[in-house]
Amino acid sequence: MSAPTAPGPRFAVVGNPENRRVALFGDAVRTAGLPAPRVVPWADVLRDGGADFAADETVRVDSPGENDEVDRLLRGPGDPTRVEGSARWYARLIAALGTLRGGTRLDDPDDLAVLFDKRRCHAVLDAAGIPVPASPTSGPGAAPVRGWDDVRALMREHRMHRLFVKPAHGSSASGVLAVDSGGGGRIRATTSVELAPDGRLYNSLRVRRYHREHDIAAIVDALAPDGLHLERWLPKASQEGRAADLRVVVVAGRATHAVVRTSRSPMTNLHLGGSRGDLDAVRQSFEAAGARWTDALGVCEAAAACFPRTLCVGVDLLPAVGWRRSAVGEVNAFGDLLPRLTGLPGSGAEGLDTYGAQVAAVLHDRHRTGTPHA
């Protein structure tokens, strides 16, 4: 007589019930033959002071984004398209993570606290020997950025004629400026920020350029109270005349999915007009340059290894001009939203989307670092 089969895990997800992220994860769980996950709304967590999970529940924390009520609870009242308020958003999010009680977490609160602070994340990667753009705002002796005057001073001190100015707690390129200074005092910033006549800042789906230093200073000065991170602007490789980078999803330590993002602007984010490029052509470009595609994926896996208690991260890989070297731009806690994309050959996730790969990793016990929480 055969032994009874052990029941599969019971999943729960903290997220916005109407969001496609929650729906896609639920689809992956059901496809694996398991009951639909219990959904705990972010709005309830924030209003009620937390949530409780059973000891046998495996808990996934998903993005709190794209919900106006949750945005108000995290950032306070105001237009949800405004850019300011990311420091309050971060503080309240991290506090809320501490109110999730019980269960076994797939996302470690301490890891998330680092992943949502670009200064801390950059410092962790740099200390681990991961190639990252040079930055004066992370690590020991990090420089404060109180406004545009500080940015200008750091540009001169570190000879950064081209740099990215990023909100420390931003996501989806919100508030990011690609600043390019030329001869004769000329300066230009490329960003999705819309500067309103009253000085308020709004997110826009249109990338625009500011050529007046007064306008650039106004944007940076408005963002500085929330915290800013500066990085040297690395020239990226191109594909068909467009700047190219990659989002690589790493699940349980293995690079499972990758998408090429190309753009004629410095921002390659797909929601800002970036386009998906040709991944096979990228692999061939690495190989033709004498580099190895597996080494590029290895950089992403090494970056993910800095956050070993979190099942899945999305790594932004920046291939340098010539395709011989790569650097890590960011590591994203909620970087797995790549609908209909199936796993890389040899990754173990062939035929699975990013959510299916995560469910499979749990079922096959490849994520041994999920920790119970009191």
Reported confidence tier of residue 140, pLDDT bands at 50, 70, 90:
confident
Longest dimension (CA), the chain: 84
Residue 351 exposed, middle or buried by CB count within 10 Å (0-12, 13-18, 19+): exposed
Strands 51-61 and 10-15: parallel
Q: What is the pLDDT of residue 268?
A: 81
In this predicted structure, what is the pLDDT of residue 271?
Answer: 79
239 pLDDT higher than 70? yes
Q: Rounded to two decimals, what is the model's pTM? A: 0.94
What is the pLDDT, as a whole number, of residue 4? 41
- Spatial neighbors of 153 by CB under 8 A, at least 6 apart, are none
Mean pLDDT within 95-111? 98
pLDDT beyond 80 at 183:
no
Two structure tokens written together for 85 = 């308020």
Q: What is the mean pLDDT of residues 123-146?
A: 96
CB 320 within 8 A of CB 235: yes
At 89, phi and psi to the nearest 5? -55, -45
pLDDT at 3: 42
Task: Return mean pLDDT, the chain.
Answer: 94
Q: Write down the pLDDT at residue 362.
A: 97
Q: What is the pLDDT of residues 21-80, one digit of tens each?
A: 999 999 999 999 999 999 999 999 999 999 999 999 999 999 999 999 999 999 999 999
Q: What is the rounded average pLDDT of the residues 168-197?
A: 91
DSSP string of 286-327?
HHHTT--HHHHHHHHHHHHTTSTT-SEEEEEEEEBTTSS-EE
Instruction: Provide, rounded to the nearest whole percent, the portion of the chain with pLDDT above 90.
Output: 88
